[in-house]
A and B are shown apart, each in its own frame.
Chain A
């Protein structure tokens, strides 16, 4: 709650219209005892809850025949703007409420319960009363879990209401029997889950295949390069063979050119020898004929003409000499016969010449090709890779088809489930039953949330309160930590003095995160040291702090936003300046 303004009209000691406007931060209302400071706090509770003690219409106003008094409040709570006005005229009491400028008949107790409002208004004389004990409801308000508890209470009452409206469990059982039981639905749901799992498996596999294909494509690229290299090598090998043939031809041509003269001589020699051989063969023929003739002459002792040898010019001795001579001639002819120019000699001569011939251009190119061919090149697996890619694509398509099948199966099952669910949902008893179950779940969830939030807020509050206490107390070594549950200082056995309780109460209030705090006579019972230390802490007690004090000196430095209550002794009325 954040108070924007209070308007008092002829309320108790205040005569006429008195308006107080408040800002965020510290606001001060100064007035001596009996001038009406506490009346301002009372006016808030009158406006909100109609609280009044005795006569509340200003006496001076009554004397002037003004018989109506009223208090108007303008405040904010949880982002909404509220305007409250309570008017009393004789016994006639009227209450007006506007929420965000719209009239409303909501009970103000539902907006801000009185006990919640009381946690923001403190009398300095009695502020220490919060030390040592705080009832559960106030503690819940203080820790910010009252709202959650209200929600839990509402859920519980809704659950109870639903339970009492539930006709009979027998009817529900019959209904489910007709539906084929909940098990049938569960079975369908299990089936749906299975298909979804299968689908997700197929989808996962397709992703894997796609990934594998992309990997194979990369391999294919490198295999293509290897394949290109292989083709190039084949071309090079072909070229190498061509070069070798060319080289051979070239060498042979050159060799023949080189051997040309030699060959001429050889041919001449051959021809010469050939003539000699022919001549010698002819001579041989003659010799053979002569030898045969001489031998027959020697054997028969007669010439072919019949003349005895002893009568011819040649005797036997001469014939024998002639035969010896002819044998010598025969040996010479044999030597001539053995002479020839063999082809083997020519080939070896050619080879000898060829080895010394080296065509440089061909040699260089051949060497380059050899170097290239000597480099190792792995055999290309492009065909294998292409085959794998095709196989993967076929598998991918098959799985896509499988997914389509599964999708149609899933759609059928979903329709069946939906039909059954619709029937179940439209059953009134089922709705109630579901509501009860949901309420149970929410109650258990809220229990846990409330418990956890309480722990958290308690811890936060204790930390903040303890920090304030340690900074303001005169016994920082002794008074270290505050326990919010017991609203007291931890591990302190001795009873606290009223002043110490006052300090502890303000520390506790400072630790609780609040929108607004109103304190009447904040430093009563406090010694100067405590006062001085607490003064520094006052602006941090809440977002909006309203102090009501009789002693302006002690708080004058806190803010410039100050109202003064002035009193007219003659008319016995107070007015706010």
Chain B
């Protein structure tokens, strides 16, 4: 998956660290917390 993320980030000029963080949000079980985190990451991107 790391290779896929790297390729997509290079292709779409996205910050890989932030995209990684967004993907890691998959492990956040609390929906509200997850939404909040993703929201802040989208603003940071």
Question: Do B38 and A438 touch (CB < 8 A)?
Answer: no
CB contact under 8 A between A449 and B34, given known A106-B29, A151-B22, A442-B42: no
Interface string of A76-117 (1 = CB under 8 A from B): 011000000000000000000000000000100011100000
Q: How far does the alpha carbon of A439 sit from the alpha carbon of B4 in the complex, in Å? A: 18
Residues of B within 8 Å of A444, CB to CB, are 12
Task: Check if B45 sits within 8 Å of A442, measured CB to CB.
Answer: yes
Which residue of chain B has the shortest Cβ distance to A79 in the bound complex?
B27
What size tier do the contact residues of chain B reach?
Answer: 20 to 34
Residues in chain A near residue B43, CB distance under 8 A = 431, 434-435, 438
Report the count of interface residues on A (CB-CB < 8 A): 29
Q: Mark A423-467, 1 if CB is under 8 A from B, else 0.
A: 000000001001100110110111011001100100000000000
List residues of chain A with CB within 8 A of the CB of B42: 155, 158, 435, 438-439, 442
Cβ-defined contact, B12 with A441, below 8 A: yes
Min CB distance, A391 to chain B, in Å?
43
Given the interface pairs A111-B29, A151-B25, A448-B8, the reply to whether A453 lies near B1 with Cβ below 8 Å is yes
Closest Cβ neighbor of B43 among chain A residues: A435
Query: Residues of A at under 8 Å CB distance from B?
Result: 77-78, 106, 110-112, 147-148, 150-151, 154-155, 157-158, 431, 434-435, 438-439, 441-442, 444-446, 448-449, 452-453, 456
What is B's interface to A at a CB cutoff of 8 Å?
A: 1, 4-5, 8-9, 12, 14, 19, 22-23, 25-27, 29-31, 34-35, 38-39, 42-43, 45
19 additional A-B pairs beyond A147-B26, A150-B31, A155-B42, beta carbons within 8 Å, are A78-B27, A106-B30, A151-B23, A151-B26, A154-B35, A155-B38, A157-B35, A158-B35, A431-B43, A438-B43, A438-B45, A439-B42, A442-B14, A444-B12, A445-B19, A449-B4, A452-B1, A452-B4, A456-B1
27 A-B pairs with C-beta separation under 8 A:
A78-B27, A78-B29, A112-B29, A150-B34, A154-B25, A154-B34, A154-B35, A155-B22, A155-B38, A157-B35, A158-B35, A434-B43, A435-B42, A438-B42, A439-B42, A441-B12, A441-B14, A442-B19, A442-B22, A442-B42, A445-B8, A448-B4, A448-B8, A449-B1, A449-B4, A449-B23, A452-B4
